[in-house]
Structure 1
Amino acid sequence: MDIKTIDTLCSDKTMKGRKAPPSHYTFKIKSFSWLSKASVQKCTSEEFEAGGYKWVKLLDEQRHYRSLSIYPDGNKKEGGKDHVSIDLVLVDTSSRPLDWEINAIVNFSAYNFIDDEYHITQDTDVRRFHVLKTECGVAKFIDRSTFYDSSNGYLMDDTCVFGVEVFVVKSTNRGDCLSMFEGPIPCSYTWKFTNFSSAKLDKYESETFVGGNYKWKLLLYPNGIVEGKGNSVSLFLVLDVSTLPANTKLVVENIVRAKNQKSDERHLQTKACRKFSNSNAAWGSRQLVALAKLKDPNSGFLVDDTCVFETEFTILGVMMPRTD
């Protein structure tokens, strides 16, 4: 059975010009017209490396070498009549297992002497190479009449330059699965912090409370941390990671708040949607309320030397590594 190994790209790819040469390989051919006169159906390059793989120079069953190939009169078997065709071959596959697979984005180019730039195919499709498909190309790369007309700039003094870029797409075999809860779990907690003026420790923890199937607490820095150090109160919601299954992240929409005890319209709060995990178990605000504002007797945040801090959060779902 004749196995077809050429993965032919769509014809008439949009070409865009750029000054920079192809990243991986260029192939200059002098006396190009003599290829047709000598009945050379295909002109091949030497092998090169890109993405950690060797490309071109493949020995086929008839013991002919295949490579980055230029068809001066078109690859007629692939529908390239009246065009210059180009294709690329992956080589050195004999040591790979039968189920090997390589995915890559391939862009071909032709140098335009008049524009002084490379006209490159803008192909964003990922090409899949495997044991039955080791080659890809563009059968209708450039119309022959356009190419052979020197006024178009592709063939100058019977010389032309072709190029190729191969960007291998390597899979990390990693992925996550987000499972949103059909009924998000709302949670809240209020912490009355008394004797604020007597607070001497850097940080204080609230009692542990339950939200969903997990344990949480509030963490307060009365004199702030980082950019809030010495000028603000810092407040964080903290997950007890011992209640979180391994490799699991909670997607949580969260509010931390300093409550104004004189006006429900003047609370200060920060809101965000975050993922809580073993490596990122806390979220909050380093500058929730300025100390000067909090200590102002008219502000309503400190009444009878007591502050009220709150959190309201909704557990929206869980994220775990994919297993399928």
Structure 2
Amino acid sequence: MGNSKSILKRSVAKPEKKMKEPNKPLQTPPKIRNFNFVWKIQKFSQLPSHKGFKCESGDFYAFDSWWRLQLVKEGNQYLGLHLCMQCAPSHFRFFDFSVKFKLSVLDQMGENHWTVEPKNAILSTSKKCGFSKFIELEELYGVDNCYVMDDTCVFELEIFSFTPIMKRIETLAVQVYEPEMHKWIIPNFSELPKMGPVTESFTMFDILWKLELYPNGRSESHRNVSLSLFYESSTPRPSAEFTLSIIDQIKGEHKKMTASTTFKFMGQNWVFLNFLALKDLHEPSKGYIVNDTCQVEVEIKILGFVDS
């Protein structure tokens, strides 16, 4: 018997070539728009009923802030319920917040919940907002309602939005001074530049000020004298009332304008853009220019200083 070689051929299945999957974007959790907190109180009837009694939930976290609910049971008529803000986000700790929310007592056998939603709720740290007469106890224990079952009552809070309110605090220290006056005499008025302003700097109340006059208007099409008062110091920041005048040197019927503002930064000014019509300025009978001289007067009364 001759040697016979058995040749076994091994069949190797080639793996299927996998298609390269495109890079998938990272899945981010959906943005939470509403927040719900459910507060269940067992043995509800054993809560004290004396005036001023308060029961509070534990703190809970939502919208980067800490909150709690406060229940007030006053006498035998009403139940009060409030949302309290315990701690705001650190970068908004001095802000007030507009909070849209609703408070409910849940119907434990259906959907007939007792719900109240405040309007224009403004909250800040350690403040509360809600209702001292949230629900009448007669309604709460009504035989047709299922708000209290097995001596258990369930409250729900839903917060819809939480928006910081930009706020800036300014303090006015009232310190009234007698008004002071400065007169600016402008000679050779007809020789002043046709365009551009002329100025006068002066010190009053240890503060540097500047008057600015456009004798021919701010542009060729402008037909009125422009007169301004500038605050040229950085501190203090005065709250002031002031009157600017172009003097009638004949009859004393001066052209005056008065305003008041708080000057907070160097270079701040108050502009009377249409102080006086050019035709009136140059009318000889008006007396605003006599012997080619114009006189401007400023009276300033300090009302106090601000800190912001």
Match of 1:238 among 215, 220, 230: 230
How many Å separate the matches in 2 of 1:318 and 1:90?
34
Counterpart check, 1:320 vs 2:299: no
For residue 289 of structure 2, what is the aligned residue in structure 1?
A: 302
- In 2, Cα distance between the equivalents of 1:258 and 1:175? 37
Instruction: Describe the shift of the 1:259–1:149 C-alpha distance in structure 2 as closer, same or farther (beyond 3 A).
Output: same
Matches of 1:264 and 1:83, distance apart in 2: 72
Q: 2:181 aligns with which of 185, 188, 203?
A: 188
- Tell me what 2:240 maps to: 252
1:232, 1:289 within 8 Å by CA — same for their partners in 2? yes
Residue 213 of structure 2 corresponds to which residue in structure 1? 220
Give the total of aligned pairs.
252
Instruction: Look up the match of 2:173.
Output: 179
Any residues of structure 2 matched to 1:129-168 within 5 Å, and which? 141-147=134-140, 162-165=156-159
Asked whether the 8 Å contact 1:215–1:240 carries over to 2, the reply is: yes
User: CA, structure 1 residues 304+85, in 2 after alignment: closer, same or farther (shift >3 Å)?
Assistant: closer
Identity of aligned residues (%): 24
Report the RMSD for the aligned CA atoms in angstroms: 5.4
Deviations 1:147-192 (A, max 9, x none): 465989x99xxxx9954458687897x644433335x142212222
Q: How has the CA–CA distance of structure 1 residues 162 and 233 changed in structure 2, closer, same or farther, with 3 Å as cutoff?
A: same
- Cα 1:49–1:124 change in 2 (3 A) is closer
Distance in structure 1 (CA, Å) of the matches to 2:227 and 2:264? 18
Q: CA deviation at 1:193?
A: 2.0
The whole-number CA distance in structure 2 between the counterparts of 1:175 and 1:274 is 17
Q: Which runs of 5+ in 1 are unaligned?
A: 1-22, 57-67, 70-74, 130-134
* Alignment deviations for residues 40-84 of structure 1 (CA, whole Å, 9 cap, x no partner): x9xx9xx7734x32557xxxxxxxxxxx69xxxxx79x5587877
Which has the higher Rg, Structure 1 or Structure 2? 2
Q: 2:200 matched to 1:202?
A: no
**How far 1:276 moved relative to its partner?**
2.4
Read off the aligned partner of 1:262 and give its amino acid letter: I
2-structure distance, mates of 1:217, 1:102: 37
Q: Report if aligned partners of 1:102, 1:128 keep a CA contact under 8 Å in 2.
A: no
Match of 1:13 in 2: none
Q: Distance in 2 between matches of 1:204 and 1:102?
A: 45
Cα distance, 1:304 vs structure 2: 3.1
Aligned counterparts, 1:26-45, within 5 A: none
Separation of aligned partners in 2, 1:286 and 1:189? 21
1:238 CA displacement: 2.6
The alignment partner of 1:145 has SS state of helix
Could you say which residue in structure 2 is the equivalent of 1:64?
none
1:80 and 1:127 map into 2 onto residues whose CA distance is 29
Counterpart residue type for residue 251 of structure 2: S
Shift of 1:105: 8.1
Q: 1: distance between equivalents of 2:280 and 2:95?
A: 61
- 1:196 and 1:306 in contact (8 A); partners too: yes
Q: Distance in 2 between matches of 1:254 and 1:293?
A: 23
> Structure 1-normalised TM-score?
0.55
Question: Offset at 1:110?
Answer: 4.0
Q: CA deviation at 1:124?
A: 6.7
- Does the 8 Å CA contact 1:236/1:283 hold for their aligned counterparts? yes
Distance in 1 separating the partners of 2:95 and 2:182: 53
Secondary structure of residue in 1 paired with 2:175: strand
Q: CA deviation at 1:290?
A: 0.8
Q: What's the CA shift for 1:145?
A: 3.4
Contact 1:250 / 1:315 at 8 angstroms: preserved in 2? yes
Q: Does 1:120 align with 2:117?
A: yes
Maintained 8 Å contact 1:301/1:307: yes
Q: Does 1:274 align with 2:261?
A: yes
